Amino acid sequence: MPPEPVPAPDLPRAIVLEGVSNLRDLGGWPVAGGRVRHGRVFRAAALAGLTAADAERLAGLGLATICDLRGRAEAAAAPTPHARLPGVRQHALPIEPSVGAGLRDILATGGADATGAQARALMRQAYVAYASDWSHHYRTLFDLLVDPAGPPLLFHCSAGKDRTGFAAALILTALGATRETVTADYLATRTHWRGDAEMAAGLPPDLAAALLGVDAALLDAAFTAIDAAHGSFAAYAAERLGLDPPRLARLRATLVEPA
C-alpha cells in the first residue's frame, strides 16, 4: 500500500468554532488549471452546536447556502439552529442509513458485539452506496455549486467525515485534483474533527477506531465501484452528477482560480 499523502503545511484552511468542528475551506487545494478559490465552498461536521459567536463567524464568510447530508432522523435529533443563520438557504439532502450512513446507524446494524472488521465492511458498503444509491443528492449539491446564487456554500453531515468526505472528494476530483490531493483532504478529518467521545467511551478500541476514524481504503472502494460501473469518473460525473462538459466548465469557472 502506498504511503498516505502529507498535506501542505497551510492546507486545509480550518475555521475553528466553539460548537462545531471539522469546518474547513476547500480553497487552496491544487486542481487542474490552478487551485480551488478560497471562500467559495466549505465542509463541516453537524452545525447543531452552533453558538452565537459561531454564527457571527459564519456570517463573516458570507454563506448563501447550507446543504445537510444527514438522514432525517439524525437531523431531527440534532437540529441546526436555523434562526442563527438568517438569509442562508437551507437544503436537506438526506443520505439515509439504508446500508449505514451515520456512525450510530452502522453500530446499530452490526450490534453491540460488532468488530472493527465488521464495521469497516459495513462502511465500505456505505461508501459504495454513496456513489450509487445517493448520487441524486450529490447531483443536487453540484446543481447548487454551479448556480450563481449557490456559493458560498457549506455542506455537512454528522461527523463531516464520510458522506461529507465523499462529497468533497467528488468536488475535488471533478475539478481535476489528483487522488493524492483528494486523499489528503479526506484524511485531514483526523486533525480537525473533535470526535464523539460518548460513543468512543463505550466501544472496544478497534471498533472505535473503525467507526470514528477515516480510512482511505473506503474512499478507494467508492471510486473503484464508480470505475467498474461507468468506465471512468468523467462518465460517472456526466451520467450521475449532471456534469456534462458545459456544466463542468461552469463549475471550474466558479471554483478554480489560477495558482
The amino acid occupying position 17 is L
Q: Which has the closest alpha carbon to 163: 226, 218, 109?
A: 218
Cell triple for residue 116?
472493527
The vertex-256 CA angle with 240 and 127, nearest 5°, equals 35
**What are 62's three cell numbers?**
458570507
CB 208 within 8 A of CB 200: yes
Burial of 35 (0-12, 13-18, 19+ CB in 10 A): buried
Considering 17, 36, 66, 157, which one is annotated as catalytic?
157
Residue 157 catalytic? yes
Q: Is the dihedral of CA 199, 205, 211, 212 positive or negative?
A: positive
Q: Among 28, 56, 103, which residue's Cα sits nearest to residue 258?
A: 28
Catalytic residue set: 157
